Amino acid sequence: MQSADRKTYIGLATTFHDPAIAIVNGAGELVFAEGAERYLQDKRAFGCAPDHPIRIVDLIEQYGDPEGEFVVGTSWSRTMHHLINLGYIVHLYDREKIYSPGASRMTGFQLKQYLMAWMQVMQMKQAETGSNLAFRLRQDFGSTRLRFRHFPHHDTHAVYACAGSPFDEAVCMVVDGLGETSSLAYFHYRDGQVKLIRKNKGLASLGFFYKELTQLCGFDWVKGEEWKVMGLAPYGKFNEEIARLFRSCYRVEDGALIHAGRKRLTEIHRQLAAHVRPEGSSPDEAADLAHTGQRVFAEWMEQLLDWLYRRGLSQNLIVSGGCALNSSFNGTILARSPFEALHVPPAPADDGNAVGAALMAWQADHPGRPFSASVATPYLGSEYSRETLAHVERFGGLGKLRHLPGTIHEAVADLLVEGKIVGWFQGRAEFGPRALGNRSILADPRPAGMKDKINELVKFREAYRPFAPSILHEHGPAYFEDYQETRYMERTLKVRSEMAGLIPAVVHVDGTGRLQTVKREWNERFHALVSAFHQRTGVPVVLNTSFNVMGKPIVHSVEDALATFFTCGLGAVAIGDYLIEK
């Protein structure tokens, strides 16, 4: 009989967008988690299987036991699989209707609603993945020891978020676009068990609201440009007429989000047309729309959280789902609600469901066992290839390449003080959308013009987009009002006015910063770098942004890092112990 510790548990995030894979070993340790977009270097990896047929062989050999049994968990329920297979999940419109002569009669709102529904159908289809893993196991390892388990979408959100939290008990709210029949769910977490309180069924969706807001502002939600709305919002002012229209879309009643109805929403959208950002105009034209939409979103979230708190189950709150990426709201939760502590995981959107599915598959075989502390670390992705780095040293012909074992952080700190912008590529990649000191672009936060310089010459993105302050934990209270430990750059806090002038490049127009707390025990090398910068300048903060340019995923390989380095305004790149300068 197969021993339990010989099993490998593989979680697949099988939504049409942001597919991901996670691996948990027989002891319950999370040993790998990565979004498919990184390996493929394909932004959001739409329509791609998380178990890539070539990549999966390496992952099996490195993190699994080819001689043991494999258990695959997916992030959609068995009922959803049956509905797909029986053909009950169908397009709201035939594809031909979009291209027919009568298609122009569809309103913009109807077309967007159709496209959202079509995308949802496609992501359900993606729930059939796992075939690449099965094929490669049989062909390469002669194994047929593979079982599948299907879990409800929101449950995988909740389990991942709860398992990686610092709490023994908490309540968890999952808010996203759509998970099976719901976009909102509440859970109670205690003693390693996640129990459903209630799911809010129906068409109302704060995730879809924010997608629509993104489109109204002239951005593309398919590209994940909700970030642009959040960055633009502080530049606008509140518009009561827009707020009235938004508020009439939904209402909150007894913890439920109630939909106004399709006809009413179509009429609301028609009235909003007067406020839509004109095509080709500056993003500034949508600032009031973004500001007001963010405010109304926060109002709904606050009402939902108030209902959850009044259940009297816990003082600790966990928030997950795609809407938990709204760091602007996250930073206000503890001030706007009675909750005393907050946790948001590093990958609260659908990529994180790979971890939730793997953990649920493991827990099914180990009832009552606690989750491993390994779930809390975000450094779960691929490492860089040392062989490739050696080839760069041998064949690259790079005149300014230095090997600096033990002192790389000191050399980079010197470059930052000199005003250089540096790519920082170390260890294992972060899981989730944010660079937390292993796949980062770093700079000195003190020059006021540094933000514009990076946006223009390195990231190639809009000038209003902000950057994050990575701060040594012990100095957090001195720089931020009502400082909260923010491990995953998941919340925005107010910078103290007397400190804002010291670090202007990481202070947004509203006086806030989406910070990252830096501790030695979480990331020793990055902590050493920030500490070295602090020693030189007296400022315990560095500017941190993801190692990519706009529209591209965060770099995955040494080749990706060098391609970015040589095609943008970076002054240097540190890969492991190697420092390359221009």
pLDDT digits (tens, 9 = 90+) for 498-537: 999 999 999 999 999 999 999 999 999 999 999 999 999 9
* Residue among 466, 168, 208, 197 nearest 321 (CA): 208
Task: Tell me the CATH number for domain 4-91+123-157+352-376.
Answer: 3.30.420.40
Region 387-395: mean pLDDT is 94
Query: Distance from first CA to last CA of the chain, Å, rounded?
Result: 59
Ranges assigned E (strand) in 336-494: 341-343, 379-383, 401-403, 422-425, 428-430, 439-443, 468-472, 492-494
Helices (H), 366-512: 386-395, 408-417, 450-454, 476-479, 497-500
Q: CA-to-CA distance for 316 and 305, rounded, in angstroms?
A: 12
Query: Residue 381: pLDDT above 80?
Result: yes
Confidence of residue 13 (pLDDT cuts 50, 70, 90): very high
The enclosing H or E element of 318 equals strand 316-320
pLDDT beyond 80 at 48:
yes
pLDDT value at 124 more than 60: no
Confidence at residue 396, expressed as pLDDT on a 0 to 100 scale: 92
Q: Is the pLDDT of residue 105 over 70?
A: no
Contact of 347 with 431, CB cutoff 8 Å:
yes
Q: Which of 100-114, 347-361, 508-522 has the lowest mean pLDDT?
A: 100-114
CA distance 470 to 540: 8
Domain boundaries, the chain: 4-91+123-157+352-376, 169-344, 382-581
Average pLDDT, the chain: 92
Tens-place pLDDT, residues 412-466:
999 999 999 999 999 999 999 999 999 999 999 999 999 999 999 999 999 999 9
Identical topology for domains 169-344 and 382-581: no
Mean pLDDT score, 98-114: 49
Q: Any idea which residue has 């020693």 for tokens?
A: 535
- The pLDDT of 460-475, averaged and rounded, is 97
What's the CA gap between 83 and 91, in Å, rounded?
13
pLDDT of 120 reads 55
Residues 393, 562: Cα–Cα separation, whole Å: 12
Q: What value does the mean pLDDT take over residues 290-307?
A: 98
Comparing 31-35, 86-90, 274-278, the range with the smallest average pLDDT is: 86-90
Residue 190 pairs in a beta bridge with 169, 193
pLDDT of residue 414: 98
| CATH code for residues 382-581 | 3.90.870.20
Contact of 28 with 14, CB cutoff 8 Å: no
Using CA atoms, how far apart are residues 259 and 247, in angstroms rounded to an integer? 11
272-281 mean pLDDT: 92
Q: Across residues 270-278, what is the average pLDDT?
A: 92
| Per-residue pLDDT reduced to its tens digit, 129-163 | 788 999 999 999 999 999 999 999 999 999 999 99
Q: Which CATH superfamily is domain 169-344 in?
A: ATPase, nucleotide binding domain (3.30.420.40)
- Report whether pLDDT(408) > 70: yes
133 Cβ neighbours under 8 A, 6+ residues apart: 10, 51, 56, 60, 70, 72, 146
